[in-house]
Structure 1
Amino acid sequence: MRKLCLLVFAALGVLPGEANVRLPHVLSSNMVLQQRSQADLWGWCEPGEKIRIVASWNSKVDSVQGSRDGRWKMTLATPAAGGPYTITIKGENTVVLDNILVGEVWVCSGQSNMEMCGNWGLPDIKAELPTCNNPNLRFFRIPRTTSTSPQDDCPGKWTPCDSNELKSFSAAAYFFGKKLNKDLNVPIGLIEAAWGGTPAEVWTPEHMVTGDPVLRIAAEKLQPANGWPYLPGYCYNGMIAPITPFRIAGAIWYQGEGNTANADTYSKIFTAMIASWRSAWNEPLPFYYVQIAPFTYGANNQGTLVREQQAKTMNLENTGMVVVSDLVTDTTDIHPKNKHDVGYRLAGWALAETYHQPGITYKNPTYQTMEIKGDKATLTFTDAPGGLVLKGSEPRELVIAGEDHVFYPAKAKIEGNKLIVSAPAVKKPVAVRYQFDNAGIGNIACKEGLPLAPFRTDDWPVTL
């Protein structure tokens, strides 16, 4: 009889001793819940099981009944930032989640430049270790995980920031969170979901790639390689889908190097990815990202075009781009070591745009218009309130061309937020480019210190 019962339970997908109330890994002790939100709690249970939930911030008893397929879900209204709190979930068994904080939660994703941590030998993290212990900064790091279909759970655990945990957590994400915690004075939760070498396609649901002819053809250009996935949806399914019920404030992103093989469609896949995440969370999430750094990719313009495509993505509402060309000391290293300033610049976007803090310089000066008069091109730029400055005696990576499409090194005169550009060999200017080179590093910035974003005024074909 016992054997028969076990067979029946197995056929139903339920075995004795496995019907206890269970939670996904992202719902655990030490977690940070998004403040002033309708936060979902969810998990698995015996079909029809009654579950009672009590959060210590209001001691109210809520209840929910398990569905026929053994799942449950409950929405709790969270208070303003604070804690620590306890959540008790009671069915046939009791689960107690303790040391919970309520604050701001951000997903931190991308490839290796987001994944880089103290274990990579970063000097900025080494300097942080003696003083980094911070119970109001919490980490949840998702290990590299793939799946052919969306998953409802992923490995990981919430941990307070200390010198041991920081060594293996994203450095850019840490500095982003540290700055938010300091300036907002609220707990910060950071969820790292990153995998070096990955293209944006693997972070996008498969149907959004294969269902679009342009993106499908572009995805076919990606080359299989040992060490990272390349098929559409694989990382989304294993590392993003499981956390989409978890309420967050927004996302930061550092990726693009993995898309140099199909650089000309990066804005399209990136826009599709952002749209898919916003749809999955059912929120117009703020999405702040890093433009890839100068690097010697080769003879063609792969890195240059990815950067240009990333800039185009700024046309999407509620996005922001950080330029980091001035933070690179070695263009033969695809992993710039300065992640402190990367994190702080990302935090600048969040503090200004998401949290509406005044007085923050966070936007890089950006090309706006060009006017030709005689042998000179006058260019105007946005987001240079104090004007532009030249770091050095002559501009670097600034070139000008006439109708023959031949570019020559240019001279420039700065007048406020304008550049007056010319070259002796170009009598009738048609186009100006700045830092339009894979490894080029310019030397123009706004007076407030942020580098001028790479640009070109033309739309001439370039070699991929």
Structure 2
Amino acid sequence: MISAYSDDKQFTMRIKYGLYLSLFLGLSFTTSAKSKGPIRVACIGNSITYGYGLADREHEAYPVLLQQKLGAKYQVENFGKSGATLLSRGHRPYFQQEEYKKALAFRPDIAVIHLGVNDTDPRNWPNYQDEFIPDYHHLIDTLRAVNPQVRILIARTTPIGVEHPRFESGTRDWQLQIQQAIEQVAKSADVELIDFHTPLYPYPHYFPDAVHPIAAGMHFLAETAYQAISGDFGGLQLPAIYSDGMVLQRQRPLTIRGKANAGELVTLSFHGWSGNTKTNRLGEWAITLPAQSAGGPYSLEVSTPQSKRKIKLNNVYVGEVWLCSGQSNMAFMLSQSTDQEHRPIQPDSMLRIYNMQPAHETTASAWPVSFLDSLDQLRYYRPATWEGARPSKTNISAIAYHFARELRDSLQIPVGIVINAIGGSPTEAWIDRATLEQEFPAILRQWRKNDFIMPWVRERAGQNLQAQDTPLARHPYAPTYLYDTGIRPLSSYTFRGAIWYQGESNAHNIEAHQQLFPLLVKSWRKTFGATLPFYYVQLSSINRPSWPAFRDSQRRLARPSQGIDMVVSMDHGDKADVHPTIKYPIGHRLALLALSGQYGYRSLEARSPELLSVSWQQAQVLELTFAGTSELRTSDAKELRGFEVLTYDGKTHPLTGSMRGATVTLQLPPTLRGKDLWRLRYAWRPYTDANLTGATGLPVSTFTIDLKTNAHDAQ
């Protein structure tokens, strides 16, 4: 390996380490072979291992906590050095520190290595990144030299937060490269890889300086190291959503994932099929069920014969499963809706509901301190169970229920819906941290003072948190929080698709939402599958000035050919209430998209008519052609309303028109003769009475088109 260190200085350093190691070995092995006694565990690392910044590192540093967990049969020592780099030519090489010499003299039976955070320094990684893997091998080799039987665990590095001053100028990307290098070392050096990154990633509030975890974070590191060393992962476990009465997605191979103690045999049986696997070193197991046809109820059983543990789930169905999410209009309950009296909930054991509800609603009140502590620990939702539809079950989403009812009636198979909507929640709360760090890091910084976040959202969070308000306090509206608490726990479950009603808490900044919405879809497709259908509801009508432009922006975000599609709801708005009480039509329209797009009901008119082209027929006549319907109508059988034209002086002029087939003809008034026209708009009022629909009553969306430059395509 000398060729990797051809530089004279590097070669000299390597010889020095070799001479030191030779001298040490000559002395140590003249004494005796491995003596009996506690199993020696060396925690090798930087300031994080050392416990920098802790109020009481002698009791709070992770090696101390690890000692407590492992017990008297182990001797755990802390060999952390603040500022240390793995790179031997870094600004403070671990190889040159006294802690390195002491770690070798300790002759560990187990070594837990956490190095690499300081290697992100611009003095280090840009210059010497090619030496990281050889240097890591050298560290491993020296540990094996003093104890050939040493068990070595190398850790993916702890997170570096977005508040770090160099986050976007290199630290973010270089840490990712270092993580990849560490994973490569684990394979090439045949050592165990453990993960100090993932358990702490959803807890940025544990890193007040963006680098060093507080005492609460140290418990995660100690637990991760303990589990890896002992193989004790708490025995057989399944994610909470796998429970009695659940619905599994039909017609797809289903990979069921869980936890068990390392090396345990796990057996799964379902509906006459059985399979088994062994848990890996990280306590993870996965068994893939072959695709199933709709049916049930069945039983699903998972067991670990070695530890004699068994989980048996009863009344399991196979059918269609949808995720129903968003903010308050999706959370709006059947008991609150005015169409409940006309369309009451029907008892149906094969329409199954998993209703994830918050422990506290985000009303204008101060939450108790005990709940704020739970928030910090990502315990926001109450435990949920799968239940069948019944008349008394009216505390569920009205839109989600009507959507599921339509699918159930049309498909005649079991249907399951998972509801996790949270009132007032902004889009950014539902996106995973890695996506935002890469694509929109600015929205993560000081979110309570961040103009990308709607003022109302920040104010409401302040009200809820006032009993114990700190700069790093968590709240459901914080970026990534609802992904971490409401999406990530579902990540092992298989869904046919998702329906989404949200945007009210992002309507203040259209441009930001235009970035966030595609990131939301990207995030969920990364979690649930690259082709997850995503059907969403356009905001309705209300007297809020930004809403026409926001509705048009939502229209432009639809990508039907990519499974991202929208339903219009402005015809069921309310002038003053952001929560319209009529919900059945919205659930029905979402179901039309699903039936047409996913279940082969191609003849349905499932989408609102869309403007296809605009042309001048005469000097004063505009002809608009629409796609997606055989015939245009008005919702109230009255004259056409909602069209207007803008001139370049910014003035609006209402237009009259008529319909024939899929064409609208608009007549310009004589007062506009000879004037340059700027834009054509439709339904461009916050609360609109525009009335153009397709043949089946689906309303045409708010839109605007530039007449000067675009006479054909409304997109």
Q: Same fold (TM over 0.5)?
A: yes
* Residue pair 2:227, 2:233 contacting (<8 A) in 1 also: no
2:694 alignment partner in structure 1: 446
Task: Show CA shifts across 1:116-159 (max 9, x none).
Answer: 1134x223334554x611011111122338978999x9832211
Check if 1:143 corresponds to 2:339: no
* Residue pair 1:30, 1:98 contacting (<8 A) in 2 also: yes
Distance 1:332 1:133, change over 3 A: same
Q: Note the aligned Cα RMSD (angstroms).
A: 3.0
The Cα shift of 1:27 comes to: 0.5
2:387 alignment partner in structure 1: 159
2:407 alignment partner in structure 1: 180
Distance in 1 of aligned mates of 2:406 and 2:705: 35
1:354 alignment partner in structure 2: 598
Secondary structure at 1:37 match in 2:
coil
Distance in 2 of aligned mates of 1:101 and 1:73: 20
* Residue pair 1:154, 1:238 contacting (<8 A) in 2 also: no
**Aligned-partner residue type, residue 8 of structure 1:** L
Greater relative contact order, per chain length (Cα 8 Å cut-off, separation 6+): 1
2:636 alignment partner in structure 1: 391
Distance in 1 of aligned mates of 2:414 and 2:268: 23
Check if 1:247 corresponds to 2:463: no
1:376 alignment partner in structure 2: 621
Number of equivalent positions: 448
Secondary structure at 1:457 match in 2:
strand
Distance 1:375 1:238, change over 3 A: same
Question: Pick from 448, 458, 464: which aligns with 2:706?
Answer: 458
Distance 1:69 1:251, change over 3 A: same
Distance in 2 of aligned mates of 1:25 and 1:350: 27
Task: Show CA shifts across 1:79-120 (max 9, x none).
Answer: 11001110111112111101000001000010000001134x
Check if 1:340 corresponds to 2:556: no
1:98 alignment partner in structure 2: 314
Distance in 1 of aligned mates of 2:491 and 2:481: 15
**Aligned-partner residue type, residue 157 of structure 1:** T
Distance in 1 of aligned mates of 2:651 and 2:477: 37
**Aligned-partner residue type, residue 181 of structure 1:** R
TM-score by length of structure 2 reads: 0.59
* Residue pair 1:434, 1:454 contacting (<8 A) in 2 also: yes
Question: Pick from 281, 295, 310: which aligns with 1:82?
Answer: 295
Gaps of 5+ in 1: none
**Aligned-partner residue type, residue 101 of structure 1:** Y
Distance 1:29 1:257, change over 3 A: same
Secondary structure at 2:526 match in 1:
helix
Distance 1:154 1:73, change over 3 A: farther
2:669 alignment partner in structure 1: 423
Secondary structure at 1:163 match in 2:
coil
**1:24-35 correspondence runs (5 A):** 24-35=239-250
Check if 1:190 corresponds to 2:417: yes
TM-score by length of structure 1 reads: 0.88
Distance in 2 of aligned mates of 1:390 and 1:423: 25
**Aligned-partner residue type, residue 226 of structure 1:** R
Pair member with larger Rg: 2
Secondary structure at 2:670 match in 1:
coil
The Cα shift of 1:274 comes to: 0.4
Question: Pick from 306, 315, 326: which aligns with 2:550?
Answer: 306
2:567 alignment partner in structure 1: 322
Q: Higher helix proportion, which one? A: 2
Secondary structure at 2:671 match in 1:
coil
**Aligned-partner residue type, residue 346 of structure 1:** L
**Aligned-partner residue type, residue 693 of structure 2:** A
Distance in 2 of aligned mates of 1:7 and 1:423: 83
Task: Show CA shifts across 1:270-294 (max 9, x none).
Answer: 1111011111123301111111101
In terms of mean alpha carbon deviation, does 61-70 or 195-204 score higher?
61-70
**Aligned-partner residue type, residue 125 of structure 1:** Q
2:459 alignment partner in structure 1: 225
Distance in 2 of aligned mates of 1:450 and 1:276: 30
Check if 1:115 corresponds to 2:331: yes
* Residue pair 1:215, 1:268 contacting (<8 A) in 2 also: no
**Aligned-partner residue type, residue 270 of structure 1:** F
* Residue pair 2:491, 2:528 contacting (<8 A) in 1 also: yes
Distance 1:117 1:458, change over 3 A: same
| Identical amino acids, percent of aligned pairs | 27
Secondary structure at 1:12 match in 2:
helix
Task: Show CA shifts across 1:246-286 (max 9, x none).
Answer: 11100001011110121233232111110111111233011
Distance 1:208 1:17, change over 3 A: closer
Gaps of 5+ in 2: 1-37, 39-65, 72-222, 360-373, 462-474, 709-715
Question: Pick from 267, 270, 274: which aligns with 1:52?
Answer: 267
* Residue pair 1:388, 1:417 contacting (<8 A) in 2 also: no
Question: Pick from 500, 506, 524: which aligns with 1:259?
Answer: 506
**Aligned-partner residue type, residue 686 of structure 2:** N
